[in-house]
Amino acid sequence: MRYELPQPYQELSHTADTGIAAEGATREEALARLVLALGALLAGGGSVTPDVEETVVGAGGADLAQTAVAALREVLFRFATRQVVPGACEVLSLSPGRAELRIAFGRFDPARHREGADVKAVTYHRARFEPVPGGWRAQVILDV
């Protein structure tokens, strides 16, 4: 299923940095919302108009949490090198060690996204991907 910004997510307090967490009825929904939570942070709450769609593969990691980190790292690399922000996301497959996502990216606009966070990295620190009542919850801490 394809999810578009805005989606519900939680911003987590961390002394020097920041974290994001998202829930979904399925693992795939939780990961899609986590990707879009990263998009929302990068865009600083500004709207994103997707204009290019591509398949993103997050490979590696011993468990779902580390694989989610790998997927978000791929998204961040695209942001850092092409200044594109995820505006819609569908998780095509997800298992420990590999995630395949279809992501629609929109261009980062310095004016519209002026409050966007300059995220340096997606860390393994306190990365979680676990069942919760009613579904799944995924979280990562971002170095900003």
Q: Binders of another protein: how many residues, by CB under 8 A? A: 38
Interaction residues for another protein, span 15-34 (CB under 8 A): 15-18
Interaction residues for another protein, span 109-128 (CB under 8 A): 110, 113-118, 120-126
**What is the secondary structure of 66-89 as a DSSP string?**
HHHHHHHHHHHHHHHHH-EEEEEE
Q: Is the peptide bond before 6 cis (omega within 30 degrees of 0)?
A: yes
- The widest CA-to-CA distance across the chain, in whole angstroms, is 40
Distance of closest approach, residue 27 Cβ to another protein, in angstroms: 20
104: which DSSP letter? E
Q: How far apart are CA 4 and CA 58, in angstroms?
A: 20
Whether 35 contacts 10, CB under 8 Å? no
Whether 69 contacts 39, CB under 8 Å? no
Q: How far apart are CA 65 and CA 89, in angstroms?
A: 18
**According to the binding rule CB under 8 A, does residue 108 interact with another protein?**
yes
**According to the binding rule CB under 8 A, does residue 133 interact with another protein?**
no
Q: Which is nearer to another protein, 42 or 90 (CB)?
A: 42
Interaction residues for another protein, span 48-87 (CB under 8 A): 60-62, 66, 70, 73, 77, 80-81, 83
Q: Which is nearer to another protein, 13 or 134 (CB)?
A: 13
Q: Which stretch binds another protein (CB under 8 A): 47-55, 87-95, 105-113, 128-136?
A: 105-113
Rule CB under 8 A: which residues touch another protein? 11-18, 42, 44, 60-62, 66, 70, 73, 77, 80-81, 83, 108, 110, 113-118, 120-126, 141, 143-144
